[in-house]
A = this chain, B = another copy of it.
Amino acid sequence: MAVYTHLGAEELARLISEYDVGELISAKGIAEGVSNSNWLVETSGTGAGTQRFILTMYERRIELSDLPYFLGLLDHLSERSCPVPRTIHDRGGAAYRMERGKAVAMIEYLPGVSPTRPTPAQASAVGAALARIHIEGRDFPLRRANTMGFADNLAILEFCGQEALGGIHPELPALLAPAREAAALDLSALPRANIHADLFPDNVLMLGKQVTGMIDFYFACTDVMALDLATTHAAWCFHADTNVYDPERGEALLSAYQAVRPLEEDERALFGRIAQGAALRFVASRAEDWLDTPEDALVTRKDPMEFAARWRFYAENGDRLLA
């Protein structure tokens, strides 16, 4: 949540001149992106009005070889009228450029704000939008493996170790067993697509009940669609303050998704177990971050127990959600 690199006005202006977007008018470093630097850039445009973009510099974690997948998927979905930002290509046609040894890309700016307390109507809209990117993304020609699948989550928790997990919270080590079960799930028969894989409210822009942008596709990958639905369900359908499940939101999200793409029988049968695995992913990643972040760091550590509680909800109720 920071701007890691300082790009001066002259440097930005020169970079912008590589794109057919007019002259630089304004650039504000924005506090978004976990491991990227981002600027909201305005240019004079090439037609009637000014244009706005998000300029992203990829600092860490992102593999350069993944960028054609991430940026190409945005273009693919955007061309099919899904609410995702398109990539602005430079005069040579490149989707990203190298600057100071780092990749930079210009992404379309979209209006909207991210809800922190989604309503059922908003959960419904995001369910429908998610189903649409699943359908429209099926014929995108590139593929990317999921690096945060159930086996990866188990490996992370095992790497943390029983003792360290118990130091975070005494109930955490008990989640190694369900993580092993999730890793052993056979999902090979379920329909796959290019999925977002991290569609938290933070990554959705909305105006009222309308989804105006799904952003931050940097976990996108080729995997089973039911996993994306379960992850989105786990991210959207619990009360922010109490962490209690909101059945209205949950039902709205699932039925709006299914109105666009009805789940197949084997997806329905496995949904509860997939949702457990989806919740455990954030237990694992947050536990790892917790152990990596000193207690007195400026960064706020997210509590892994929040998703431990969501895992328990799915363990107890997951099979009834699609009944």
Contacts and interface: CB of A to CB of B under 8 A. Distances in A.
A169 interface: no
Given A9-B113, A116-B10, A2 B28 contact: no
Contacts of A24: 113
Interface stretch (A29-37, A98-106, A281-289): A29-37
Contact of A115 (B2, B9, B205): B9
Given A10-B117, A117-B8, A298-B298, A112 B3 contact: no
A302 to B, nearest CB: 13
Nearest to A116: B8
A115 B10 contact: yes
Size category of the A interface is: 20 to 34
A207 interface: yes
A1 B8 CA distance: 15
A207 B113 contact: no
Given A29-B32, A30-B28, A42 B111 contact: yes
Given A30-B29, A40-B40, A12 B113 contact: yes
A114 B42 contact: no
A27 interface: yes
A26 interface: yes
B9 A114 contact: yes
A150 B9 CA distance: 32
A219 to B, nearest CB: 21
Nearest to A54: B28
A13 interface: yes
A113 B27 contact: yes
**What 9 pairs between A and B have smallest CB-CB spacing?**
A8-B116, A29-B31, A9-B113, A3-B31, A28-B30, A25-B111, A26-B111, A9-B115, A31-B31
A2 B42 CA distance: 21
Contacts of A298: 298
A30 B32 CA distance: 9
A107 to B, nearest CB: 13
A211 to B, nearest CB: 13
Given A113-B9, A116-B10, A1 B1 contact: no
A125 to B, nearest CB: 14
30 contacts: A1-B2, A1-B3, A1-B29, A2-B31, A8-B115, A8-B116, A8-B117, A9-B114, A9-B115, A9-B116, A9-B206, A10-B115, A10-B116, A12-B113, A13-B113, A25-B207, A26-B111, A26-B112, A28-B28, A28-B31, A28-B32, A28-B40, A29-B31, A29-B32, A30-B30, A30-B40, A31-B31, A40-B40, A42-B111, A298-B298
Contacts of A117: 8, 10
